[in-house]
Amino acid sequence: MYVKRNYSVKVMLSWTRRYIYKFILIAAIPTFLYEVFDWKFLYLPWLPIALVGSALAFIVSFKNNASYGRLWEARQVWGGIVNTSRSLAMMMNDFITNQHAKEKYNDEKLFGIRKELIMRHVAWMTALRHALRAPKPWEMSSVNSSDKEYMRDVKISERDHTLEEELEGYLSQEDKQYVLSKANKQAACLNLQSKQLRSLQESGHIWEFSFLEIESQIVELFTQQGKLERIKNFPYPRQFATLNLFFVWIFIFLLPFGIINVFDDIGMNIIDSYDQPSAAIQMIGNGFVWLSIPFSVIVSWIFHTMERIGEVSENPFEGIANDVPITTMARGIEIDIRQMIGDNPDTIPEPISEQKGIQM
């Protein structure tokens, strides 16, 4: 899916609010013990914690770059599918003719052949969508409470309908049974395409060189499919993903202990800067240590949110707000190529509507 860029602060805070509660608790407990119980020993030197934070910033940045690379590659491949699909529709529209045919077909039958090929191409995209949406053990958004809550009212077509249901009307009964019987159903669709194109070439309804040109587009679709399957089936290395999250939480737990004493010293300096501090100045100085809580929460939120952004970006087909909108893109391709062959506008489906500002 793809969410609009104008992410509001409200949405971002809502997405991370469960963690914010944890950050407040983690920061409040040591501060309470330090100030109320006078456990002044309860602090750590700031320098080593700052070094941990600096190293963590590089680690999180590396992961986010790698995760964004996977997301962007997936989007580029789907952009290639858009272009190849349009080229394929153009070729089927213009290359399937009676010019070299042994048996002449009327316009209605030629259109029926073109539409059969186009509908099978839509079936290929449908099978590919379902394969990419299939859950994997390393995909965490389906079990993450924050992601589940945010996507609660969003309907995902591949989760609400089976592949068999969505193939209805795009394949003949015989072709559908053949496709569903194979492990790689999207590859089975392309295999059927190639077989029918070869039959049309043998009957002369596709010129030999035109046949080779169309076959090259089928090969290109196989290539793009393979790239998407590689992204889907080979995750971001789990040792990096797990250790990154572990390091972030270590930093979050250490952070309050490193800044309690710093804020306490600032408060004392405020009082000492006056020869005769007023009651208000003394209250501010003595209570300045409590500002370590919101400061700690803000820093923790920044680091953890950056880690979460990398986590939700590393698997671009899970079906959450930041994913590639493969359902919307596939529907857009279907509309384009069916219009290109002159299909009945009443039978062409409408574009998929956004849900909560999210493209599916």
Q: Which residues of the chain have pLDDT under 50?
A: 1-6
| H or E segment to which residue 159 belongs | helix 157-160
CB 256 within 8 A of CB 296: yes
pTM of the model: 0.89
Centre a 10 Å sphere on the Cβ of residue 108 and count the other Cβ atoms it contains: 7
Q: Tell me how far apart the alpha carbons of residues 63 and 131 are, in angstroms, rounded to a whole number.
A: 26
pLDDT of amino acid 3: 46
CB 113 within 8 A of CB 96: yes
Residue 159, token pair as written in the block: 């989760």
pLDDT digits over 79-128, tens only? 999 999 999 999 999 999 999 888 999 999 999 999 999 999 999 999 99
Residue 202, token pair as written in the block: 């043998």
- The gap from C-alpha 287 to its chain's centroid, in whole angstroms, comes to 44
pLDDT of amino acid 8: 61
- 3-class secondary-structure state, position 275: coil
Q: Tell me how far apart the alpha carbons of residues 55 and 49 are, in angstroms, rounded to a whole number.
A: 10
pLDDT of amino acid 117: 97
